[in-house]
């Protein structure tokens, strides 16, 4: 199976990995976990869970668009939230709502939310990874 790695413009170049992996055939798309970085690698919404969730979704939308996909193509999301507790759900949903308004649709694939102790840097409160399926 052929795999194409893509590092779309509009997302920071990490160096250790590419942002998107596309497998041909059934055209599975695996988007690396997205944090609240803008295209220059600056954290958006430091200390603001809703703003960071919004930026994560915007980054996923950028990654999908770079390979011909949209949120309608998402098959699965996995969300990691630092120090998760149920009281954070309204902020999380606010971020999803704001992203949906910006992107023109609500991403509603199956998902998993996992509470974690920490992420890559202390400023990041959430990380979201995605799997999409596109028509071959």
Q: How many of the other CB atoms lie within 10 Å of CB of 84?
A: 18
The order of strands in the sheet holding 20-23 is 3-6, 20-23, 28-34, 126-133, 74-82, 111-116
The predicted pLDDT at position 66 comes to: 96
Question: Which pLDDT does position 110 carry in this prediction?
Answer: 79
Q: Please tell me the pTM assigned to this model.
A: 0.87
The rounded distance, in Å, linking the Cα atoms of 46 and 49 is 8
Residue 1 pLDDT > 50: no
Q: In whole angstroms, what separates CA 83 from the centre of its chain?
A: 19
Token pair of 89 as six digits: 């759900």
């Amino acid at each position: 199976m052929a795999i194409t790695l893509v590092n779309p413009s509009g997302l920071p170049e990490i160096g250790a990995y590419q942002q998107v992996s596309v497998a041909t055939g059934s055209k599975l798309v695996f988007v690396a976990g997205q944090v609240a970085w803008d295209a220059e690698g600056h954290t958006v919404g430091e200390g603001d869970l809703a703003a960071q969730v919004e930026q994560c979704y915007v980054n996923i939308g950028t990654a999908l668009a770079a390979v011909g996909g949209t949120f309608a193509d998402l098959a699965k999301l996995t969300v990691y939230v630092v120090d998760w507790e149920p009281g954070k759900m309204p902020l999380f949903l606010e971020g999803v709502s704001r992203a949906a308004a910006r992107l023109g649709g609500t991403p509603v694939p199956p998902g998993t939310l996992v509470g974690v102790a920490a992420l890559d840097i202390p400023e990041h409160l959430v990380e979201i990874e995605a799997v999409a399926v596109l028509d071959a």
